[in-house]
Structure 1
Amino acid sequence: MVKSTSNEDESVSVRFQSVIKILHLLLSLGIIMAMDKFLERVFVAVAIKFPSALFGMFFVFSILMIFDSVLPSAATILINFFEPANMFIQRWLPVFYVPLLVVLPLSVKGIPAASGVKICFIIVGGWLASLSVAGYTAITIRKIVKTEMIAAEPMPKASPFSKFEVWSWTGMFLASFISAFLYPTALGTNARTCLPFLLAATVLGYMVGSGLPSDIKMVFHPIICCGLSAYLVALAFGYLSKSGVDAVLGYYLTKVSSNPGAGDILMEFLGSVIISFAFSMFKQRKLVKRHATEIFLSVIISSLFSLYSTAIIGRLVGLEPTLTISILPRCITVALALSIVSFFEGVNASLTGAAVILTGLVGANFVQAMLDKLRLNDPIARGLAAASSSHGLGTAALSAKEPEALPFCAIAYALTGITGSLLCSVPAVRHSLLLIAG
């Protein structure tokens, strides 16, 4: 009797602790998301075009650094409080960058096949060149300033997905897909109808991809599996419902807040993801301070190289000047890339977004293997090279396996976009790029 009571008490205690952990996660994640939405509204209200989430990242990092100097215990409390949110974001990080990859087929329509081949050549070759320049520049500058490399702080890795999670999402996918297909007249085929099964397909694809053997993931990253899963499901539903794959992909990412699709829901987390990078940067603050010179100089040099090498290669392969200018910011996150091309006239903004996603796709799939082949072994060089060459998708792919590289990915991710924006805002730089592109 006593033993039975003891077991019941332990069971109640475990359940209570589980509830507390869930509430802690929801509260910490909710605060980060609320901060993101608040900053976004403020920036819109005062007509600031700079991404509010990047400002939030540097703001949170600055606050943590100030606390660390004057009241270290406060910084520790903040880090511990937001740890559940950070681990949740780290576990699901690649998924939040997938929606633009899923709808990529809609972005490249209308591009001539010959031009498409040239653009792919520039993207793949440019990615490899930018990766090498960023990584080797960091190492070269480190040698010049004679900064000795020290070990990075160990970072926790996200837990693998359980069979229960996989089967739960499989059940949700099947139930929502069948419901949407069998009752199209009752529900109407629209974004809300497609949202549940497209969201489940995206999540399930990432889970399955994450569980693949390591040697397969080296050439078939979970991000690819995730995007491919959502696209194939959209293709199947478009065929069975006779609505067509383009229509279903349009429901996946509507960009309309009153009628969001699965991709819109996932991308709502992007601002929070970027803000959360501040906590990873703070954990590696010793390395950030120690190697600040190589970090900043390598980002500036790689940004210049990326812009001008794209213009030069585009001219050499005979790509139309307007298309060359459209893909100039291929290594910069979408929000800032679109801002950069707005400085130029006659560009194809859809192509800009597609070029950015294709660059990230190449980086996500091959960044880790290529960094190994180039013998870029330390987290600083690997993080800077990954983010400088393939922005958010490269960051998500590398940091999922190497969390120690995440802070340097985050810094390069932000500074590459800022540097590119500042460079292209200078008339002399814009004119020189236009002249090179022809």
Structure 2
Amino acid sequence: MDTPESCKSEELCTELLQSQTGVTSISTESVTQTLRLRVFGVLHWVVSLGLILATDFLLKKAFAAASIEFPSALFGMFCIFSVLIILDYAVPSAAVAFEKFFEPGIVFIQRWLPLFYVPYLVVLPLSLKEIPASSAIKICLIVVGGWLATLCVTGLTAIGVRKAVKTELLDAEPMEKPSPFSSIEVCAWTGVLLISFAASLVFPTALGTRARTYLPFLLASTVLGYMIGSRLPSSLKKVFHPIIFCAASAELAAIALGFLSKSGLDAVLGYYVTNSSSNPGAGDILMGFLGSVILSFAFAMFKQKKLVKRHAAEIFTSVIISTIFSLYSTAIVGRLLSLEQSLTVSILPRCITVALAVSIVSFFEGANASVTAAAVVVTGLVGANFVQSTLDKLRLRDPIARGIATASSCHGLGTAALSAKEPEALPFCAIAYALNGIFGSILCSIPAFRQSLLAVIG
């Protein structure tokens, strides 16, 4: 390093050089430490998420090999929750460490959760081709009317039980909100979209099959659509919910690719969801996370274990009544409107999160999983837009009732909409959101209960 001419003495120059060296050393150490922390953070995220996905995969394989119809992810959720409770009782510090270890993976799942619903909407045109317009109108009536009825029944039940037990509201544990998407992330996925689009047109079978070659482009169009939809102003989100914006983005991308490649929309959608583990499409990759969503419920319930224990009467009574009412009312109205049996069965779990709703309809022969997912998402969208104003008109002010009623009638999307403005209701939303799907899955796994629903449908 050259000695500055302004230095008039050797001592001054030495001090200056030492000062400069010291600053450089501290800066280098700081950068190195920052890089180490980031590398460690990435590895922590990869391991925690990888273990969750591996657990879901192994459980699916084990249940399939044993021919067990009960949802494997739901069993895994019970196991994780039980382990957390046992550790919390025996070694509380171990329970906290266990929860903290999986936190990066859980935060990732929560951040992207709505995205995992989208593939069912994207391929919906393939499923709706044979559904008459009159049947589609009946489904819409059942979904919208059923949402309102379930909201009222659940909210009033929660209020009634709350008045009977007279427990004071306990403060909930704070729940971390996922970070918003940055401009860098949007730009990165835009680059992937453009490059993969060109590659799909120029080298359609570069990776062996069109499904594999189209996968990066169709995945990027879906992810980018969700990112942009999430960054829209609140006024636009009321019209274009991030899920709708995301599904539309993926659909338009499929239309463009089908037109320019001359393969057609139906063929591209067939590559989007192949239902093949050896040759998956973009939709298969996204739907592969649905099991991990169910496993994450264990951590959400454990975090609010004190709340569950204190308000167990309100929560469990409301959720049980809500789930039974939702399933049977859908069956009854479907029969009254003369809706086809297969379609009525498909929309039975309209108020249950799609991750479990699809598992539930698998118990019934002839059910259409795409119709199920569409009914669930539409229910959520209706709730997300109208749940708060409807609860106000019903004069349901209690945060317990508002949270349970919202999650039980419009699951995750309604939960996200309500919690954004009423954080005090979020814990009850999270609990009811999980329990509603759990109880519905348990009921529909019982043959006698399934037969009773089919008897009502006729």
Task: Give yes or no for the alignment of 1:61 onto 2:81.
Answer: yes
2:218 to 162, 185, 198: 198
The answer for the alignment partner of 1:430 in structure 2 is 451
The answer for the alignment partner of 1:370 in structure 2 is 387
Secondary structure of the equivalent of 2:112? Answer: helix
1:410 to 434, 439, 443: 434
The answer for the alignment partner of 1:109 in structure 2 is 129
Shift of 1:394: 5.2
**Cα distance, 1:372–1:291 mapped onto 2, change above 3 Å:** farther
The answer for the alignment partner of 1:262 in structure 2 is 282
Equivalence map 1:104-253=2 (5 Å): 104-184=124-204, 186=206, 190-253=210-273
**Cα distance, 1:6–1:325 mapped onto 2, change above 3 Å:** closer
2:383, 2:406 within 8 Å by CA — same for their partners in 1?
A: no
**Cα distance, 1:399–1:205 mapped onto 2, change above 3 Å:** farther
1:97, 1:393 within 8 Å by CA — same for their partners in 2?
A: no
Task: Give yes or no for the alignment of 1:327 onto 2:342.
Answer: no
Shift of 1:77: 0.9
Name the aligned partner's letter for residue 388 of structure 2.
L
**Cα distance, 1:437–1:91 mapped onto 2, change above 3 Å:** closer
Stretches of structure 2 that go unaligned for 5 or more consecutive residues are 1-19
Shift of 1:417: 2.5
1:60, 1:275 within 8 Å by CA — same for their partners in 2?
A: yes
Question: How much is the aligned-residue C-alpha RMSD, in angstroms?
Answer: 2.6
Equivalence map 1:340-379=2 (5 Å): 348-350=366-368, 353-364=370-381, 366-367=383-384, 369-375=386-392
Name the aligned partner's letter for residue 142 of structure 1.
R
1:252, 1:264 within 8 Å by CA — same for their partners in 2?
A: yes
Distance (Å, rounded) in 2 between the aligned partners of 1:333 and 1:362: 10
The answer for the alignment partner of 1:20 in structure 2 is 40
Distance (Å, rounded) in 2 between the aligned partners of 1:230 and 1:90: 21
Secondary structure of the equivalent of 1:169? Answer: helix
1:332, 1:417 within 8 Å by CA — same for their partners in 2?
A: no
Shift of 1:217: 2.0
Task: List per-residue Cα deviations over 1:270-313 (Å, max 9, x = no partner).
Answer: 21221122111111111111122222222221122122212322
2:221, 2:249 within 8 Å by CA — same for their partners in 1?
A: yes
Distance (Å, rounded) in 2 between the aligned partners of 1:81 and 1:186: 39
Distance (Å, rounded) in 1 between the aligned partners of 2:81 and 2:343: 38
Secondary structure of the equivalent of 2:168? Answer: coil
1:384, 1:412 within 8 Å by CA — same for their partners in 2?
A: no
**Cα distance, 1:185–1:202 mapped onto 2, change above 3 Å:** closer
1:79 to 99, 119, 132: 99
Distance (Å, rounded) in 1 between the aligned partners of 2:380 and 2:212: 32
Shift of 1:327: 3.2
Shift of 1:140: 2.1
Task: List per-residue Cα deviations over 1:348-371 (Å, max 9, x = no partner).
Answer: 422x54034223233135336413
Task: Give yes or no for the alignment of 1:100 onto 2:120.
Answer: yes
Distance (Å, rounded) in 1 between the aligned partners of 2:81 and 2:265: 43
**Cα distance, 1:93–1:435 mapped onto 2, change above 3 Å:** closer
Distance (Å, rounded) in 2 between the aligned partners of 1:149 and 1:391: 22
Distance (Å, rounded) in 2 between the aligned partners of 1:38 and 1:9: 43
**Cα distance, 1:103–1:378 mapped onto 2, change above 3 Å:** farther
Percent of aligned positions that are identical: 59
1:239, 1:245 within 8 Å by CA — same for their partners in 2?
A: yes
Distance (Å, rounded) in 2 between the aligned partners of 1:250 and 1:334: 21
Q: Which has the larger radius of gyration?
A: 2
Shift of 1:249: 1.0
Distance (Å, rounded) in 2 between the aligned partners of 1:314 and 1:223: 27
Distance (Å, rounded) in 2 between the aligned partners of 1:37 and 1:188: 25
The number of equivalent residue pairs is 431
Distance (Å, rounded) in 1 between the aligned partners of 2:454 and 2:24: 79
Shift of 1:372: 4.3
